[in-house]
Amino acid sequence: MRKKSFIATACLLILAVAWAQDVIPLPRAFIDGSGPDWKELTEQDFADVNGNPETWTFKDGMICCTGQPIGVMKTVKQYTNFEFVAQWRHLKPAGNSGFFVWAPPAALENLAPGKLPAGGIEVQVLDHGYAEQYEKQNGKKGDWFTTNGDVFAVGTSKMKPFPPLSPDGSRSFPRKNLSKGVGQWNHYYVRAINGQVRLWVNGEEVSGGSDCQPRSGHLCLESEGSPIEFRSIRIRELP
């Protein structure tokens, strides 16, 4: 066995044991997406689904989204087992966005502007100002969401969320509050393998879920009413 292959196999065995113990200490190269077999996603790797021509622009190494209309941009390719890293920052307080993992093709076909896919696992990207805005508009705090990395099934998709859970049990709430506020770059590392999704926010694992169905599909970036920027989106396919 070649040295490179041996090292890769050893790493996967270590991760498998750690996964069974519900703890995954990852090397820095994994979290940064700088290890072998990682690919940076560029404009050629994405296709708009239901936005306007100006909704998504690629410039200076960033993906810039106006937030209008509400909708998504998908990867051209579908993925099953993979991991990806991305940096994001909201440009206005109370900004809302997210990543869709394993969005099924049927949920993206003929999707009208202003609509989000009725399928996929959403990895929430929410600014802290959203909680303040919700409380002001509704006269009470929103207990059904957080601004630090919720993970939940959307529409026809299914997932068994990891605790702690939202009051209705549908969302995996983060174990730590690690997201930075408006104008600051945040780092997400997401591992999606064998129907299980795990999210690391700024270097630490916080939320996720298992038994996802379907467990193959497109990776999507979400436009949801507020300007946001993404950069350094890198992906690595897994066995």
CATH number at residue 104: 2.60.120.560
Could you give the number of structural domains in the chain? Answer: 1
**Which residue range forms the structural domain that includes residue 116?**
27-237
Structure tokens that stand for 26 in this block: 């990852």
Please state, rounded to an integer, the average pLDDT across all residues of the chain.
91
Asked, for residue 14, whether it belongs to a domain, the answer is: no
* 221 has pLDDT over 80: yes
Q: Rounded to an integer, what distance in angstroms lies between the CA atom of residue 101 and that of residue 121?
A: 5
Q: pLDDT by residue (tens digit) across 130-157? A: 999 999 999 999 999 999 999 999 999 9
What pLDDT, on the 0 to 100 scale, is given for residue 182? 97
| For range 111-120, the mean pLDDT | 97
* Contact criterion met (CB below 8 Å) for 168 and 122: no
Q: What percent of the chain has pLDDT over 90?
A: 84
23 pLDDT tier (thresholds 50, 70, 90): low
Q: Rounded to an integer, what distance in angstroms lies between the CA atom of residue 205 and that of residue 44?
A: 30
**Tokens 């690919």 -> residue:** 39
Asked, for residue 184, whether it belongs to a domain, the answer is: yes
32 pLDDT tier (thresholds 50, 70, 90): confident
What pLDDT, on the 0 to 100 scale, is given for residue 108? 98
Structure tokens that stand for 163 in this block: 């605790």
Asked, for residue 50, whether it belongs to a domain, the answer is: yes
Asked, for residue 169, whether it belongs to a domain, the answer is: yes
Count the helix, strand and coil residues of the chain and give each as a percent rounded to the nearest 5.
15, 40, 40
What pLDDT, on the 0 to 100 scale, is given for residue 24? 59
Q: Rounded to an integer, what distance in angstroms lies between the CA atom of residue 190 and that of residue 217?
A: 15
What pLDDT, on the 0 to 100 scale, is given for residue 9? 42
| For range 43-67, the mean pLDDT | 97
Asked, for residue 136, whether it belongs to a domain, the answer is: yes
Q: Rounded to an integer, what distance in angstroms lies between the CA atom of residue 87 and that of residue 233?
A: 7
Q: For residue 192, what is the enclosing H or E element?
A: strand 186-193
Q: pLDDT by residue (tens digit) across 57-106? A: 999 999 999 999 999 999 999 999 999 999 999 999 999 999 999 999 99
Asked, for residue 45, whether it belongs to a domain, the answer is: yes
Asked, for residue 13, whether it belongs to a domain, the answer is: no
Q: Rounded to an integer, what distance in angstroms lies between the CA atom of residue 82 and that of residue 101?
A: 10
Asked, for residue 55, whether it belongs to a domain, the answer is: yes
Q: For residue 99, what is the enclosing H or E element?
A: strand 96-103
Q: Rounded to an integer, what distance in angstroms lies between the CA atom of residue 85 and that of residue 52?
A: 26
Residues forming a β-bridge with 47: 74
* 28 has pLDDT over 70: no
CA atoms lying within 13 Å on the CB side of residue 170: 13
Q: pLDDT by residue (tens digit) across 150-209? A: 999 999 999 999 999 999 999 999 999 999 999 999 999 999 999 999 999 999 999 999
Report the first-to-last Cα separation within the chain, whole angstroms: 18
Q: What is the CA radius of gyration of the chain?
A: 17
